[in-house]
Every structure is written in C-alpha cells, then in structure tokens.
Amino acid sequence: MEIEKVSFPSPWSVEMFEREIALMVSHFFVVLADSAVIGYGGYWCIHDEAHIVNLAVHPSMRSRQVGRRILDYLIEDMLKYKVDRILLEVRKSNIAAQGLYTAAGFLRTGSRPRYYGSEDAILMEKKIETKSF
C-alpha cells in the first residue's frame, strides 16, 4: 500500500484492491526486487477491450524503465485475450505517465472533466493491429 499512497493523491484502499482483484475481468501483477514490491499494474478485460485500471512504481525505482516493463507485460498478457484496443485514464497533471503511454503507442482520445475530483482525466487508447494471413 506504500506505493499506492505515495503515487496517487487519492490512493486505493486495501478493500478497493481486494474488490478489484476479486472481479472475474480483473488481472493484476506485481514486480518484485529482493522480495520487495517495487511496482504493480492491473487491467480489466471485457470482450475485445482491455482497460488499464492501475499502474504504479515505487518512487526509488522510477526512471529505470520499471513502469515501461510493467506496461509491456500488461499489454503482452492482454493479447492472449485477443483485444482490439486498450483504454485508460490518466491525470492531466501526470505528465510522466502520459509520456510512458505515448511512448508505448497510446493516443489521446479525449478527456473527462473532474474525473479525479477536481482534476480532469486524459483518455488514451491504443489500437491493437491484428495480423491476418
């Protein structure tokens, strides 16, 4: 919970994580270094669509490509479900996360005013190219 608390102005509670993980559509992964959690990410997979619901990295491990590795792993896992697109929301003020997602091929598709209380969310999407033979 430490990473969640230092990463987000409105962190998820233990109960929120428990409810999230219990959902049939939910997929969560953690990254360990020396038996300590240094990051995690989760998504929902519903039909042909995936939605990243959380991704965080311990502050001491940021700028070391941990977030990118988590994101790449999530995307790779999503492909097992043959999704056509991946959606997410990110705080307007979270420039680092927006950069991470843009570098991974996500495009800004809109915004949600006051999605995070007083702060807007930027909507981003990555379309998955399917190869047909």
CATH number at residue 70: 3.40.630.30
Question: Does 55 map to a domain?
Answer: yes
The per-residue pLDDT for range 83-127, each reduced to its tens digit, is 999 999 999 999 999 999 999 999 999 999 999 989 999 999 999
Question: Does 133 map to a domain?
Answer: no
Look at residue 133 and tell me whether its pLDDT is greater than 80: no
Count: domains in the chain? 1
pLDDT score of 30: 94
Inter-helix orientation angle 95-103/66-79, to 10°: 50
Query: Mean pLDDT for the chain?
Result: 92
Number of CB atoms found within 10 A of residue 57's CB: 25
* Residue pointed to by tokens 């491990």: 61
pTM attached to this predicted model: 0.89
Question: Does 109 map to a domain?
Answer: yes
C-beta separation of 19 from 28 below 8 A: no
Question: Does 27 map to a domain?
Answer: yes
* Residue pointed to by tokens 């070391």: 64
One-letter amino acid at 39 equals G
Q: Of the candidates 42, 24, 30, 21, which has an alpha carbon nearest to the alpha carbon of residue 2? A: 30
